[in-house]
Amino acid sequence: MAVTAADVLFWLLALCAGVSGWRVFATDSMVRASFLLLLSFLSVAGIMLLLAAPYIGIATVFMMAVEMMVMALFMVMFMMNPAGLNPMMMVHQHKLAIGAGVLAFLGLTAAILLTDLPSDPVPADRAVVHDLGIELLGDSMLVFETAGVTLLATMIGAVVLSSRRGRYGDADTGSRPPGLEPGGDPAGREPEEGGGGHHHHHH
């Protein structure tokens, strides 16, 4: 069997996806981990393009770029690690994590080896993007819309739950620095009325 350019590209992308995926857990920075994971996803997106899935491949690049950027931002915001610059361990619960990782690897490998995967080249003139659109907004609409709305609700819920407790007390009671002495004037400048958005502070 002759090795084609697509084969070489596939193995290169697969290697890049695997190595950058492993480096996610070996690095010591939240920002590096996020963008190494992005590199892994970009490689997978390249493989999808090789599989003649132009929409899913490029949409993966777009979505993952935005998601990893948001993830890096939120991780740095919620972890008490100033600006994400301090080195930190990116793995925890080592024994459980190793066990889960090995189990998942074995399971997925078994699934790949035991499944009779189709070898079904896509005809060049097939309108794959059109077909995908019909599928997403046709038979599979309920599944995708349910998943989408659930994810959105989860995201909003997570932000609401995690952002209520602010640095200077609960966010919904107004953000006001603590006094220099108990009950005294707040340290630093008080936020101007309406300047920072929706906070109403007490006088």
Looking at 18, 155, 196, 200, which residue binds other proteins (CB under 8 A)?
196
Check binding of 26 to other proteins (CB under 8 A). Answer: no
Q: Using an 8 Å Cβ cutoff, are 30 and 81 in contact?
A: yes
How far apart CA 166 and CA 65 sit, in angstroms, is: 28
- Closer to other proteins by CB, 13 or 31: give it: 31
Check binding of 124 to other proteins (CB under 8 A). Answer: no
How far apart CA 40 and CA 19 sit, in angstroms, is: 8
Rg (CA), the chain: 24
Beta strands in the chain (DSSP E): 165-166, 169-170
- State the number of binding residues for other proteins (CB under 8 A): 26
Quick note: the x/- pattern for other proteins over 64-103, rule CB under 8 A, is -xx-xxx-xx---------xxx------------------
Q: Using an 8 Å Cβ cutoff, are 90 and 30 in contact?
A: yes
- Closer to other proteins by CB, 14 or 76: give it: 76
Side chain identity at residue 99, one-letter code? G
Residues that bind other proteins (CB under 8 A): 31-32, 35, 38, 54-55, 58-59, 61-62, 65-66, 68-70, 72-73, 83-85, 127-129, 195-197
